[in-house]
Amino acid sequence: MKTVSEIMTKDIKVCTPHDSVTAAAKIMRDIECGSVPVCEGKEVVGIITDRDIVITCVAEGKDSNSVHCHDCMSTDVVTCTADTDIHECARMMAQHQIRRIPVVENGEIVGIIAIGDLARENIYVNEAGDALSDISEHSRYDH
């Protein structure tokens, strides 16, 4: 049984609820992803996506430097633990229609796992592919 801890990204970037969406967008640009966990200290309190920023800020003509992450982040974040089986992780991504899941231990973020991490595991390509197909049809938030 392979666990999330074996393939997750441990060097993660996060935002705080009071960071501007510009700061979140810069992180997304720099690490080439579409979402960033929002944390108070090391506790995950939300997740912000590029779509959240576009819909809540850009499309409304708001100044991205004065809109904060807490103004547009999702707060119903799906998380897993480092000992979660990667099969279960793929199932969670498909069920919740997400591409990235923050990994927490004792209430603190310790990493993040993305659909691409699962896809790199040859044994699990079919599961990751199935998860991605389900996610692409009904994306809740882009992890």
CATH number of residue 49's parent domain: 3.10.580.10
For residue 15, pLDDT over 80 is answered with yes
Question: Does residue 142 sit within a domain?
Answer: no
Q: What's the whole-number mean pLDDT along residues 130-141?
A: 54
For residue 136, pLDDT over 70 is answered with no
Strand-pairing partners, residue 68, are: 20
Structural domains in the chain (count): 1
**The model's pTM:** 0.83
What's the pLDDT score for residue 123? Answer: 43
Yes or no: say if 30 and 14 are a contact pair by the CB < 8 Å rule. no
Q: What are phi and psi of 11, to 5 degrees?
A: -90, 90
CB atoms within 10 A of CB 82: 16
Question: Does residue 30 sit within a domain?
Answer: yes
Sign, Cα dihedral of 49, 28, 120, 109: negative
The SS3 assignment for 125 reads helix
Question: Does residue 84 sit within a domain?
Answer: yes
Q: What's the whole-number mean pLDDT along residues 71-96?
A: 93
What's the pLDDT score for residue 125? Answer: 44
For residue 126, pLDDT over 90 is answered with no
Reported as a single tens digit per residue, the pLDDT across 31-76 is 999 999 999 999 999 999 999 999 999 999 999 999 999 999 999 9
Give me the domain span that covers residue 55. 4-137
